[in-house]
Structures are given as C-alpha cells and as structure tokens.
Structure 1
Amino acid sequence: MEQWVPLFDIFLNSPTPEIEASLWLHRSFNVSSTLPISAASFLSLLTQPVDSVGSLYWNFHDRVMFIQTLPSMVQSRILAFLSVEQERFCSVDLNRLCRRVLSEGCGVDFWVQSAARDLLDKLSGSGRQWVPDLVLGSDESRVEIEFKSLPGWLKDAVAVATDEVVLPWLPLSHDELNSRDLISSRDTEQQQTSLTQVGENELYNWKDVAEGMDIDHSENDVLDPEMQNMAARLRTRLMNVDSGSKTVELAEEIRELCVDSKADSLAVLGLIEPWKVDDESAAVLVSHLLSGSDEELAWPSHVISSVILPKLLALERPASRVLISSVMNFCKLHERAAEYGLLIPLLMRKDGINNPICEVITRIVKECLHRAHVSALCQKLFCGKEGERKPICQPCHQCLISRELVWTESLFSLIQNIMSHNVQLTQDTVDQLVHQVHNLAPRFSRSLKFGHFLLCLTKKFGSLLHSHKPLLTESVAQTNTLVTKSILSKLESL
C-alpha cells in the first residue's frame, strides 16, 4: 500500500489529477519488485474487498471495495483518471468496478455516479465489448446482450401497460417505445445514445435513491389518524417540558414513533414541531434522536432539518454555544446528511446568508468536512442543476429557501474562508465564480468583502484564471476599494 501513497496524494490535492497521475504511473512503472506498480496492480488495489468500518452508506458487516472507502471527491477523480487512461486497463475489470460502484444506489455521491457512468459510456463506445457483471466464482459462460436493446423490465412494462403513457416521468407512447428509432442523432457527427440492457440483479435501486435523495416532500403526505394523535400529544408534552431527563424520554418516544414504526419521519416531525423548543432542549433532542447505528441518509437529515435548521435560518445574531456544539457534533458524524439537511438549505436561504450564518458554516467547513467534500459541495452549488442541490426541509420552511443562490457580502466572505482553508476548487467552479464576479461587480463596487474575495481568488487560483484575465480585469476596474490596486497588480502578473 505504501508505494501508492504518492498517487493517492495526487488524487487528493492536485488541481489536475488525471495528468499528474498518468505521469506518475508512467514514471513509477515497475512489475519486477515485490511491490509492483502497474495498471493491473492499481486496479487490483481499488477492487480489493475490505470491511466497511462505521460507514454511512454500508452495513457494519458488509465488505466493500477499497475505492468505496475513500472520500467521494477522490473516488470521482480516480474514476475520471481511469476514463482518460482506459486503454491501460482491462475493460472487463473496469466494467466490473463501475457496476459495483453504481450498484450501491443512494450511498454513492452524485459526482462518483457521474464519473462511473462516463467510464461505462466510454467503454461501450470504444469498440470494446460491453459485458454484464460476472458473479465471482461462477463458471457460467458470459451472456452476450445487445447494447442498444431495451432492458427486460421495461419490455415487461410495455407489454402489460394499459395507459397511453408508459412511464409518468418519461412520456413515451407505446409506439415510440416499441420503435427502433430510439437512437437520436446529435449535430452532424450523429453521436448515438441508447437505452442499455442490464441484468435484473444489476438494476440500480432507484427506490432507495428516491428515499435518500428525493427531498421535495409534499405537504399532502397524510398520516393515519392514530399517528397524528400520537404526534399531537408528543408536541404538547415537548412544548411543556421542564427538564433534560424528560426531554430524553420524549426523544426516545419520538424516535420510536418515526423509525421503529416505519412512518414518514419528516411528516411526523412536522406535526411535533421540535424546532420550537429552546437551544438546550434542541441539543438534547438531536443527540438522543440519533444513534450510532444510523447509517442511512434520510433519518439524520430529517432530524437536523426539523430541529436545528429552522433556528439557523432565522439566525440574526451569533448562535449560542450549545447550539453550535450540537451542530458540530452532528456534522462530524453525518457529513452527507449535514450537506442536504443543513448546509444546502442555509446556503440557499431566500434572503441570502448573513454574518452569523456565515460564521456557523465556516466552522462546519473547517472542523467537520474533508476538503474534497467541500470542493464537491461548491461544484454542486455553483455548477450543478437545480435538482442536484435541492434541500431537505419541512414543507412549512420551503418558503424560506430560494431556488437559486442569493449573492450577499457574507456569501463572498464564506467563499473566501473556503479558499483560505486550502480547498481545491475545480475549473468549472472557478469559471462560474468569474461569471458571477462579472455580473455583480457594479453592485458590490464599494464592498471591501467583495474586494478581499477577489484578492483571495487571484492569489489561490491564478493558474485557473489565465483565460479569464481580460474579463476579470474589466470587472475589477469597476470596483473602488482599498484592495482594488492589489487585485489589478496580481492579475497583471498572471
């Protein structure tokens, strides 16, 4: 393992990991030593089965591939490298690796899924044979499946469907779905896209993905009358609680009602209204509603978005110590849930973030999240589509959250804090920041916080700004702050 440390350091910290990793692998190639360094040995290391230790995404006794134990950003960079250098590796092994990664469903980060699918697309389009994933230890012959045919489950749906539209989210009629003209042409190159047939056991568990990531809960979610009455009684008791021990008892009852009864936990918490308690009681609730075995995304994100998020959305002065302590403890244990149930809703606040909220998010970024996770979050916020950054929150709080980022001085301060924390932003993220700078320069022309953000951007990511130098110079020239000349001087030296 030690011989691979420099390569993983490249994937973790390099702004151009694909190029540097390729050069390192070429220079370090050695198959004669007791610790070989080659494409085959690297792929073998990535697919090596290991025990999942306390992961958020797998059961404690599951065995996963080594690559799945790495931070999501590192996983996506490794898969991107494999996509660039696919000719060096065995296509069957690459296919198996991607299919194993994608089979985890909601436990896989969006960018990891995208990188894995991109690699699969390249494998299928490069003249190599696309083969189904093989069961380890099986001597059965490989079944050749036509790449452009429909999956079996969709053929069955077409056969038994009576409605005019087969799939509500994909409005294709029976004739269109049965047609052989499903392959579309793109421009003059006629790049072909198709529906891929996969084995029944290899289909993504879209139900689990929806449960983990479908965060737009309807206000029409209906609980049975008995459940509503129990939630109402718990709300009354919670609003009148007068001691920490009683709060602990209530937390256990709420958890039993939400988790053990398999009810819609977000709807139940919405009826109980735990965000109305004081900060001390809120901290007790969060710590006792969750247990060490909570590995899924849904329940922890429902807890934090129902207990803590509303308090922070309304924050106008520095948060109390007990509230900050509760938030930090949660984010260290549940990074993924904190992203969707706390960070994204706060960053998408309808009025934009203010200084108190900026301070809270800065502490979370510096003390709870890995730098690669922060970089992926920035990519999602600034470059992702609206659906990719949809927050988890109570329906009654959706009016406090915007569909787009609201740019404020505090948001620029937060981005500066992130850059100062040595988070490696991607080229796409930097491109979007430059675009926003160009649009917002007249509005923030006298803002010193905006100026400090620009100065930090030019210092930290000068190598990514060469193509934007004229546009940035024009934008900075519209500002009039104490650091304007310093920024222009830095741009001139690029």
Structure 2
Amino acid sequence: MESWVPLFNIFLNSTCPETDASLWLQQSFKLASPSISTTSFISLLTRNIDVHIVDPSSPSNHTKSVMWIRTLPDAVQARILSFLSYESGKFRKRDLCSLAEKTLRDGLELDFWVKSAAQQLLDVVSDSKCEWAFCSELEDEFGSLPAWLKDVAGKSDKVLPWLPISRNELISRMQFSSSSENDDLVVEIEEDKEDNSDEVMEEGSVSSSEDDASLDPGVEKMAACLKIKILNSESTFHTIEMAREIQRLTKGGGNDALAILSLIEPWKADDETVSILISHLVGEKEDEHVWSSFILCSFVLPKLLELHEPASRVLITAIVEYCKVYHKAAEYALLLPLMLKNGGINNPICDVITRIVKECLHPGQASSLCQRLICEQEVDPKLICLPCHQCLIGSEMVWTESLFVLMQNILNHDIPLTQDSVDRLVYCACECARKFSKSLKFCNFLLCLVNKCGHLLKTQKVALMDAVSHTSTLVTKSILSKLSSL
C-alpha cells in the first residue's frame, strides 16, 4: 500500500491527474518489483473491505463489504476511473471491465461523476468477451430482442436512434427472407410499434401544447421562492442545496415538472450557477430521458437560443459533460430546437452545436440527426421545449452562413451522410447560391462538400456547377475544377 501513496497524492492534488499518473507509473514500473505493477494496482482497488453503514432509520448499524476504491473521496474515484480509461491499453481488459461493472452495480449511492467515469471506462474496454452479469438474467435471450433495443424502438420511429431506417422500411426488406426467425422479429416489431404509439404521441405533446393542469398554490409559492434563490445564489453549497430542492419539488416528472420549471425560470441564472445545477440534477433510471430532456430545455436551451456572444467556458463544459451522458435528450431538447431557431443560427450557436456533435454524439447519431433536419419537411413530434419558448423555434431550418459553416464542420468531422441528405444539401445550396454569391463561408462549404462527398455528387454535378458559377470568391475556380474531375 505504501508504494502507491505517491500515485494517490497525484489523484488527490494534481491539476492534470491522468498525464501525471501515467508518467509516474511509467517511471516507477519495474519488472523485478511486484509491488508496483498494473495487476497489483487493480488488485488494490478491487480489494474487498468491510465498512460500517450508518442508517438513521435503524438503531443499529450494519457492516457491508465494498471495494477499496469505493472508500475514497468521490473526486479521487472519478479521477482514478478516468485515468484507467486513458491508460486502458496497459491493463487487462477483463480486470477493467470487472472493476467498472462492480462500481456501477455497487449498492451504495454513486456520485454523478463517478458513475460517468465508470460508464466511460466500461465503454472503452467492454467487448464481446466481457461477461455481463445481467445477460444471465434474460430469458430466452437468443431468440428475443434485447431489452435496450425494445426501449429504443418504443421511443423512436427509427429502429435505432443512430441508424436512419424506420420500422416500416426494415419490415419491407425482411419480408423477402424466408427465415422463420425473421418472421418472428417482424411480428415483434409491429406489435411493439402499436403498443407504444400512444406513449410516443404523449411524449411529443409535451412540447407542443400548453400545460392546462393547475398547480397547487403551495407548489407555486415554493417555485417562486426558488426562482429568487437561484438568481441570488452566493455559494456552491447553496446552489447544490437548491438543486436538491428542485428535484424534490419536481419529483414525479410529467407536465407538472415542466410547469414547475417554467415558473422557476432557471435559465435566467448566471452560467456558473446553471453549470452547478445541471451537474447535480440526476433523474431516476426509469425516467432519466424525460427528466434530462426537461433539464436541458429549461436550464440550457433558452440561454443558447438568445446567444449572441461566445458562450462561457464553464457553461460549455457543463453542457458537453451532461450531453455525453444523455445523448437522446441532447438531440431532442437541445440540438433540434437550436437548429430550427427562428431566423437561423449565428456563429456562437454554431460553435456550441459543433462541439456537442463532435464530443457527445456517435457519428451514426449525427448522420441520423442531419437526415431528419435536412430531408424531413415536418418538425419532429418528439422535439421538446418549454411552451414559453416555442415562439423562438420555427418549423424548418433557415439557411444562413453560420448554418453552412456548421454543415462544413460536420463534414470535416467525417460524419457519414446518406445519399438523400447530400441531394437535399445540393438543392439548398443551389437555392442559396445567388444570395451568398460573394460569401467565402458558403463557398468553403461547397468545396468541403465536393471533397468529402464527391462519390455521391455525380448525379448532381451539372446542377452544382451551375450554382457555383453564380459565385465569385477565391475558391470558386477550385470548386469548379474539383467538380469537373468527378
């Protein structure tokens, strides 16, 4: 244990623990010394020890066996798990997978950042060889859809949130197969679609109608009190206490929670207060998507819709960390409303969306999001926002220079676009060519589109060349040259 004290001091005090810990481990590692090795470090972290649990409701205390890492401060636990993700190649995957699983399944309450770090570690190291404990709990696992796929199918008309294919399209393709297993799968998807249609409509209606339910006068009074407290927050401790009060007041979710948040008006707080609040507002597992959507649409979305200057670093960091955990909420309660902003997005909003897409979404999710925004003519029914902010959100994207910059950023991030998305982009570019004839940003987007999606532009080559011919910038000739070589 003594030999590891310097390493734990790094996790406790260093401003850059992952790098410093990696350097220390590299300098201290000796093949001849079994006390300092990757195996011994994992053994130390996973060593079981007995701790006394104090239960205020019970006169007697009881003892529980927990991993040694769980006895450390939450901040140190999160840093250790983050370091293991950073240096996962130096450890056995099986050991890291086991550590992350045990941490997530611990009976003790998990800190938000510890849980996030453990989930990240599990994502990094898990593969088909890792034995998941809950796999054994599934009955008839081989012949049935996994639970996570059923949940996703129930909340979206897409089979997967990041795969741009609907149930109807999947069923039509599978009907050509004679396999009885495929027939069972088709029936299961169709039944699931019918069972969940009412639920999806109810979820979508949250954003499209005013909340007619009257709140209890006592609740309204508490919400008004919280509104004043948030605007006059003086310390981190008081802000955390307010987060707990908000969670207690809105417990139960639904339209009541959205109405209460509308009364509190948390988006009017300063950026630092909002960043602390959203990091301490965590929903229960069964409604975490709905709750996280409410948090984003009431704490963050209104701030970004009115953004005219670059957002503060503290706010952006908090938003990105939150969206990394709640991808689906980020999509429906933040990205979709922002990109449908009345009048179009500006440069500061473009920068925020770019960072969220790059750091929080899987490339397939980003591709599906682009397809829905570019190709679909109607607003997604599951888009979530407060009723008081609906006037700031339109029914379709407005093509501004900043929106073309955003599309260029998405292409540069190697997001794979579908053929219909590219065709629609070309159509919009042709429509805007005269308006942005002298815009270098617009022409840079066209050049990027040709470079990244040239193999999908052959049928649109003539129309695109005609549009480019109406522009007059430094890169016009380069675009025409690239198009000619397709």
Interval of TM-score (by shorter of Structure 1 and Structure 2)? 0.5 to 0.7
1:78-102: CA deviations, max 9, x gaps?
Answer: 9857744643342x43343234345
Q: Residues 36-435 of structure 1 correspond to what in structure 2 (within 5 A)?
A: 47=143, 50=146, 52=148, 57=151, 72-74=161-163, 76=165, 83-84=172-173, 86-90=175-179, 92-101=180-189, 203-214=194-205, 215-218=207-210, 220-260=212-252, 264-291=256-283, 293=285, 295-388=287-380, 391-435=383-427
State the distance in 1 between where 2:439 and 2:374 align.
Answer: 21
1:325-368: CA deviations, max 9, x gaps?
Answer: 11111111111111111001111111211111111111111111
State the distance in 2 between where 1:385 and 1:222 align.
Answer: 35
State the distance in 2 between where 1:372 and 1:205 align.
Answer: 24
State the distance in 1 between where 2:267 and 2:187 align.
Answer: 41
- Could you say what secondary structure the match of 1:76 adopts? strand
1:188-215: CA deviations, max 9, x gaps?
Answer: xxxxxxxxxxxxxxx4233321333222
Q: 1:477 and 2:477 equivalent? A: no
State the distance in 2 between where 1:292 and 1:258 align.
Answer: 12
Q: Structure 1 residues 413, 295: CA separation in 2 closer, same or farther (over 3 Å shift)? A: same
User: Could you tell me how far 1:440 is from its partner in structure 2?
Assistant: 0.5
State the distance in 2 between where 1:260 and 1:389 align.
Answer: 23
Tell me, which stretches of 5 or more residues in structure 2 are unaligned?
Answer: 1-139
Q: Structure 1 residues 103, 247: CA separation in 2 closer, same or farther (over 3 Å shift)? A: farther
- Is the CA contact 2:443–2:473 (under 8 Å) kept in the aligned structure 1? yes
Q: Structure 1 residues 326, 223: CA separation in 2 closer, same or farther (over 3 Å shift)? A: same
User: Could you tell me how far 1:479 is from its partner in structure 2?
Assistant: 0.3
1:366-402: CA deviations, max 9, x gaps?
Answer: 1110011011101110111323266311122122222
State the distance in 2 between where 1:297 and 1:236 align.
Answer: 28
User: Could you tell me how far 1:46 is from its partner in structure 2?
Assistant: 8.3
- Could you say what secondary structure the match of 1:387 adopts? coil
State the distance in 1 between where 2:415 and 2:167 align.
Answer: 18
Percent of aligned positions that are identical: 45
State the distance in 2 between where 1:56 and 1:235 align.
Answer: 39
1:299-347: CA deviations, max 9, x gaps?
Answer: 2111111001111111112111110111111111111111111001111
State the distance in 2 between where 1:278 and 1:294 align.
Answer: 30
State the distance in 2 between where 1:337 and 1:219 align.
Answer: 20
State the distance in 1 between where 2:142 and 2:436 align.
Answer: 47
State the distance in 2 between where 1:460 and 1:285 align.
Answer: 40
Q: Structure 1 residues 99, 289: CA separation in 2 closer, same or farther (over 3 Å shift)? A: farther
State the distance in 2 between where 1:420 and 1:383 align.
Answer: 20
Greater mean alpha carbon deviation, residues 367-376 or residues 397-406: 397-406
- Could you say what secondary structure the match of 2:162 adopts? helix
For 1:98, give the aligned amino acid. V
State the distance in 1 between where 2:283 and 2:421 align.
Answer: 36
- Is the CA contact 2:174–2:186 (under 8 Å) kept in the aligned structure 1? no
State the distance in 2 between where 1:86 and 1:288 align.
Answer: 48
For 1:213, give the aligned amino acid. G
Tell me, which stretches of 5 or more residues in structure 1 are unaligned?
Answer: 1-43, 59-63, 106-202
State the distance in 1 between where 2:436 and 2:186 align.
Answer: 45
TM-score under structure 2 length normalisation: 0.65
- Is the CA contact 1:248–1:285 (under 8 Å) kept in the aligned structure 2? yes
For 1:238, give the aligned amino acid. I
State the distance in 2 between where 1:416 and 1:252 align.
Answer: 41
User: Could you tell me how far 1:51 is from its partner in structure 2?
Assistant: 6.5
State the distance in 2 between where 1:219 and 1:51 align.
Answer: 32
For 1:218, give the aligned amino acid. E
- Is the CA contact 1:476–1:484 (under 8 Å) kept in the aligned structure 2? yes
User: Could you tell me how far 1:459 is from its partner in structure 2?
Assistant: 1.4
User: Could you tell me how far 1:56 is from its partner in structure 2?
Assistant: 11
- Is the CA contact 1:217–1:395 (under 8 Å) kept in the aligned structure 2? yes
Q: Structure 1 residues 393, 458: CA separation in 2 closer, same or farther (over 3 Å shift)? A: same
- Could you say what secondary structure the match of 2:195 adopts? coil
Q: Structure 1 residues 371, 269: CA separation in 2 closer, same or farther (over 3 Å shift)? A: same
Q: Structure 1 residues 247, 365: CA separation in 2 closer, same or farther (over 3 Å shift)? A: same
- Is the CA contact 1:344–1:390 (under 8 Å) kept in the aligned structure 2? no
1:430-460: CA deviations, max 9, x gaps?
Answer: 1111111111000000111110111111111
- Is the CA contact 2:358–2:413 (under 8 Å) kept in the aligned structure 1? yes
1:101-132: CA deviations, max 9, x gaps?
Answer: 45556xxxxxxxxxxxxxxxxxxxxxxxxxxx
Q: Structure 1 residues 206, 276: CA separation in 2 closer, same or farther (over 3 Å shift)? A: same
User: Could you tell me how far 1:465 is from its partner in structure 2?
Assistant: 1.4
TM-score under structure 1 length normalisation: 0.64
Q: Structure 1 residues 102, 366: CA separation in 2 closer, same or farther (over 3 Å shift)? A: farther
- Could you say what secondary structure the match of 1:461 adopts? helix
Number of residue pairs matched by the alignment: 344
- Is the CA contact 1:348–1:406 (under 8 Å) kept in the aligned structure 2? yes
Greater mean alpha carbon deviation, residues 393-402 or residues 232-241: 232-241
- Is the CA contact 2:363–2:415 (under 8 Å) kept in the aligned structure 1? yes
